[in-house]
């Protein structure tokens, strides 16, 4: 099955994705990880990405969509994708619909981890210390959150009409969020 984990930076999407990957023998498609890998390779795309991230901007849909297509069309990953942090814009959501249709796949569940700004700031401060992420500076966090709210409201509206859309209180403890997801999946 294919699943979208949707929510602001620091909502716990990555944590839940890692659980689902193990439980469902699936593949985590983290746009953040894909983008950081491009940065690590020091490609031209990687240089554009780092500039955007340091300014608290989202990376262009064109770049993200082109990198994502490789994973969606990989036959070994078919119907085993956990989307973590994608889509973040309405054009990305529509692009994903096209990619899935063209690869004869669908989204089975969409989980929106709803978390307020204060909780996000606290979580990302902790994550910065634990994971030493360079994109977790407070000013950058606040810009990313504001950009997220502005950019993804249409995506939330787009998906919330679907019968497979489930909103979960992302301020709960990790294991409680996991239990809610497990209940929806019947696993």
Residues 90 and 154: beta-carbon distance below 8 Å: yes
* The total number of structural domains that make up the chain: 1
pLDDT at 33: 85
Q: What Cα–Cα distance (Å) separates residue 143 from each residue in 36, 117, 133, 139, 157?
A: 18, 11, 16, 6, 22
Higher pLDDT, 3 or 149: 3
Q: What is the mean pLDDT of residues 146-156?
A: 85
DSSP 11: S
Q: What is the pLDDT of residues 104-143, one digit of tens each?
A: 999 999 999 999 888 888 877 777 667 666 655 677 777 7
Q: List, for residues 8-54, the tens digit of each pLDDT value.
A: 877 889 899 999 999 999 999 988 788 888 899 998 888 988 888 77
Maximum mean pLDDT: which of 47-56, 66-75, 148-157: 66-75
Pick from 41, 53, 49, 52: nearest CA to 135: 53
Edge-to-edge strand order for the sheet containing 81-84? Answer: 27-30, 81-84, 3-6, 109-114, 165-169
Q: What is the mean pLDDT of residues 143-167?
A: 89
pLDDT value at position 136? 54
The share of the chain scoring above pLDDT 90, in percent, equals: 51
Q: Tokens for 158? A: 């787009």
Cα-atom radius of gyration of the chain, to the nearest Å? 16
Q: Whole-number mean pLDDT of the chain? A: 88
Q: Structural domain of residue 86, as residue ranges?
A: 3-185
Q: With pLDDT > 70 as the criterion, what percentage of the chain qualifies? A: 95
Looking at per-residue pLDDT, the higher value among 181 and 187 belongs to 181
Reference 4, options 153, 143, 155; nearest CA is: 155
Q: Would you state the pLDDT for residue 135?
A: 58
CATH number of the domain within which 51 lies:
3.40.50.300
What is the model's pLDDT at position 1?
Answer: 95
pLDDT at 133: 60
Residue of 10, 3, 1 lying closest to 149 (CA atoms): 10
Per-residue confidence (pLDDT) for residue 163, from 0 to 100:
96
Mean pLDDT of the region 53-73 = 86
């Amino acid at each position: 099955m294919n699943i979208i984990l949707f929510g602001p930076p620091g909502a716990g999407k990555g944590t839940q994705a890692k659980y689902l990957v193990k439980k469902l023998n699936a593949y985590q498609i983290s746009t953040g990880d894909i983008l950081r890998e491009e940065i690590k390779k020091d490609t031209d795309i990687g240089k554009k990405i780092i500039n955007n991230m340091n300014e608290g901007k989202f990376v262009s849909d064109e770049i993200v969509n082109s990198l994502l297509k490789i994973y969606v069309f990989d036959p070994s990953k078919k119907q085993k994708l956990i989307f973590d942090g994608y889509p973040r814009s309405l054009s990305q959501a529509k692009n994903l619909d096209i990619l899935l249709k063209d690869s004869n796949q669908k989204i089975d569940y969409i989980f929106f981890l709803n978390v307020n700004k204060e909780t996000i700031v606290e979580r990302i401060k902790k994550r910065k210390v634990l994971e030493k992420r360079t994109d977790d500076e407070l000013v950058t966090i606040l810009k990313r959150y504001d950009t997220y709210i502005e950019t993804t409201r249409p995506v939330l509206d787009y998906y919330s009409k679907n019968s497979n859309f489930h909103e979960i209180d992302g301020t709960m403890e990790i294991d409680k969020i996991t239990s809610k997801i497990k209940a929806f999946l019947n696993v």
